Structure 1
Amino acid sequence: MGNDIATASLTVDAPPDDVWRALTDPATIARYYFGTTVTTDWRPGSPITWAGEYEGKRYEDHGEILEVDPPRRLRHTHFSPLGGKPDLPENHHTLTYTLTPVAGGTEVTLEQDNNDGPEAAEHAASNWRTMLAGLKETVEQAGGAAAED
């Protein structure tokens, strides 16, 4: 894999605590993260899994929680068998979510490392922009209560 970084960023019209809850509450995650079911305890060193269906195929991706610094930063690894590569550490990505307070809301930046060139990085960034747009819509429609259900 390569050193190309995929980056997606947007501003959510809600405080960082509300965005953080939406990033870490499994019921809320399912609403904006392509219907995936996330399982983890959000502690560094713990496993995380994402399960669901994509284009008619069942999947279960996995990774490890690396850093949890609410409501500022979340880092974890990610591997998807749907990528067609063997489940080896060199084929895993690290995803880093950074939440920064800005006037009227929270800037959310998501970076994914270890992409196979600029085209792969842009493809990943496009997918993450779609996911972040769903996060934004979910949090803003709920008026910050998205993760309190």
Structure 2
Amino acid sequence: MGNFVARAEVDVRAPRRIVWNLLTSNGSHPEIMFGAEIESEWRLGSRIVWRGEWEGRTFEDHGRVLELDDREEPWRLVLTHFSPLTGQPDVPENYHGLHFELDETPEGTHVTLDQDNNPTREAAQHSQDNWAAMLAGVKAVAERQAAGANRP
């Protein structure tokens, strides 16, 4: 397909473990992935499914967990991702790779998300905008959880 990479980044004022657990857990949050319900066994090779509704249309995106490492720096999560809403055939060459890196910072966690296999700069920009919105949701939920964990 394409060689254009969409990159989204966010600084989260929450411990890296909270961000990691949020990215690697089942369930849904209205702020993340358009409120999609996420389901996976969270093991190498396991299937991951995102189910939800976007602009009045139901969707079921899917992929696989390719890397899941919270032992070495930076912590990495690598998934494949395919959305039938693209209208493209469900074949491997139409899948995107999602590469998450979580770096510990003095203020919390810096999250970088790269999505590969975008056919054009415009497609990469569209994906970047979507992933930036998703990471803004991760930031909101993680910071809320961190604030709750610090209350007596």
SS at match of 1:51: strand
Distance 1:70 1:113 in 2: 22
After superposition, the Cα gap between the structure-2 partners of 1:145 and 1:66, relative to the gap in structure 1 and judged at 3 Å, is farther
Alignment-mate amino acid for residue 103 of structure 1: P
Counterparts in 2 of 1:107-126, with a 5 A limit? 107-126=110-129
Structure 1 gap ranges (5+):
none
Alignment of 1:1-149 (within 5 A): 1-27=1-27, 29=29, 31-70=31-70, 72-143=75-146
Alpha-carbon distance in 2 for matches of 1:49, 1:2: 24
Residues 23 and 29 in structure 1, CA contact (< 8 A), matched pair in contact too? no
Instruction: For 1:73, give the aligned amino acid.
Output: R
What is the deviation of 1:15? 1.3
Q: Say how many residue pairs are matched.
A: 146
CA distance in 2 between counterparts of 1:107 and 1:85 reads 33
Aligned CA-pair RMSD: 1.6
Give the C-alpha shift of residue 145 in structure 1: 5.6
How far apart are the structure 2 equivalents of 1:31 and 1:4? 26
Aligned counterparts of 1:29 and 1:66: Cα–Cα separation in 2: 23
Structure 1 pair 49/30, CA: closer, same or farther in 2 (3 Å)? farther
Q: For the residues of structure 2 that align with 1:144 and 1:89, how far apart are their CA atoms?
A: 41
- Contact 2:28 2:37 survives alignment (8 Å): no
Q: Secondary structure at the match of 2:65?
A: strand
Letter in 1 for 2:77: L
Identity of aligned residues (%): 48
Q: Which runs of 5+ in 2 are unaligned?
A: none
Please give the TM-score of this superposition, normalised by the length of structure 1. Answer: 0.92
Instruction: Report the Cα offset of residue 70 of structure 1.
Output: 2.0
Q: Is the 8 A contact 2:31 2:141 kept in 1?
A: yes
TM-score normalised to structure 2 length: 0.90
SS at match of 1:142: helix
